[in-house]
Amino acid sequence: MAFLRSSGIVLHPTSLPGPYGIGDLGPQARRFADYLAEAGQSLWQVLPLGPTGYGDSPYQCFSALGGNPLLISLEELAKEPWFTATDLPTPPDFPADCVSFEGVIPWKTAALEIAAKQFHANAGVVEKQAYENFCNSNAEWLDDFALFMALKQQEPARIWSRFPPELRAREPEALRRWTAELAEPIAIHKFLQHQFFVQWGALRAYCRERGIRIMGDLPIYVAHDSVDVWTNPGYFQLDDAGDPAAVAGVPPDYFSATGQLWGNPLYRWDALSRDGYGWWIERFRGVMKLVDMVRLDHFRGFEAYWEIPSSAPTAATGKWVKGPGPALFRALWTELGPLPLVAENLGVITPEVEAIRAEFGFPGMSILQFAFGNDPQGPSFRPHNYPRGIVAYTGTHDCDTTVGWWTSTGRGESTRSGEDIRREREHTMQYLHASGEPIHWAFIRTLLASVADTVLIPLQDVLGLGSEARMNQPATLSGNWRWRYREEMLTEETARQLRTLCQIYERK
């Protein structure tokens, strides 16, 4: 599928500023959309929008179809006639530069529960009818999700495979009994999903009015402790106790000498195939209701995936196993038609992987930070080798910021030696002709000038921030997904500089 010559910014909504400790879908999200338009940008890329679980990662969600309640704006709720904001607990003094999940989650969860109870007690007929319509039209996934979350609240640390046997096995009588017993928390979770989708829909419409398209992100895997695995255990490689028999990850790579051990359960592609890939079709149908285009995470895993024994201490012990190949995408094409997908074709890429991408016309990705070092794909990441049908990035959410990458000593990076870094910097300076220009603007200028149809830049690189603004460091278990920007960082000068470059290089 052909993409317009355009550019945009990567920013997850949690990184927006605001008064309640975490970015949300309220006024600051609209302010950011205005800034995108002011800076001549037409794309806003976000990370997965699901309800986060383990490690606060948007790639480890309790549901593949639900939304993250932490993104609900209390300021937007305050506009509703049934909502009384004065009943909310006083917010702690949250930091402005990062998300303190350990403080935000309990406080905002309590605040949202108060809002939900106010809605069910005070909302008018029109509001309640809209809520009922939402619940009815989404019942196929929402009923199970709300029950799952209500059950999790009983013992938050307990994963579904440790539920009582009758619940683990989803015996109908047990499901009926617990649904009745947990009616109040179930209603709260359904309300929160309704509000997430209402607010997201309003934000998306606001963006559309300003010529901003939204690119979403669809992870290849789902979390083990999710409603998806609880309700569909036959689609996953699980043992008799319901725990993963083998887990996902990638072999040793740029980020880690021992690979990345993600821990997600692997699919039983044979079972999914026998059912016509219906589960996957619904996943895609769901995400395409939220966004205009989708980055398909770990695309190479659909051709072959790295299978790691569940007992392995690292991802170094694993093997490649064939995935569904083009059969999955043919089923999606038949059911949903051509999809505006971007294939995240990074890592160990083979001709078979590229053949699938070519068959369906999915643009691939290129990362400029990977262009100048020892990465075997390095030559393909250099702009003079770009095809037009590619999405080029300065870096991704998994990378250091460009300034952080440039100033790094390599300490803690197991795959780059000091000599590697010296040669990489020398090559970078020669290639970019960057003498006297800040490195992040040299990166941005080079990509915007390239033939790549689409350029996406993390906001941290637009702002020229260092490693303190890094979003995620793969193969680490804590301290990720926390960065937030301050409102005053979005200056008119930066917007003007970005808009001028887009005008020079004819990006819309």
The residues assigned a catalytic role are: 297, 344, 398
CA distance linking residue 97 with residue 73, whole number of Å: 18
Residues 220, 221, 222, 223: is their CA dihedral positive or negative?
negative
- CA gyration radius for the chain? 23
Q: Please name the residues in contact with 244: beta carbons below 8 A apart, sequence gap of 6 or more.
A: 224, 236, 237, 238, 263, 264, 265, 266, 310
Q: Show Cβ contacts of residue 92 under 8 Å, excluding neighbours closer than 6 positions.
A: 21, 103, 107
Residue bearing tokens 């109908």: 172
Question: What angle, rounded to 10 degrees, do the helices at 439-449 and 418-432 form?
Answer: 50
Q: Distance (Å, rounded) from C-alpha 132 to C-alpha 290?
A: 20
Q: Which residues contact 102 (CB under 8 A, 6 or more apart)?
A: none
Token digits of residue 158:
């307990």
Burial of residue 329 (CB within 10 Å: 0-12, 13-18, 19+) is: buried
Q: Which residues contact 458 (CB under 8 A, 6 or more apart)?
A: 9, 10, 11, 393, 394, 395, 396, 397, 401, 471
Backbone angles phi, psi at 276, to 5 degrees: 70, 20
CA nearest neighbour of 195 among 105, 114, 292: 114
Cα 147 from Cα 186, distance rounded (Å): 6
Q: How far is it, in rounded angstroms, from Cα 247 to Cα 263?
A: 5
Angle of the 183-209 helix axis to the 27-38 helix axis, nearest 10: 20
C-alpha–C-alpha distance, residues 50 and 13, integer Å: 12
SS3 track for 148-168: HHHHHHHCCCCCHHHCCHHHH
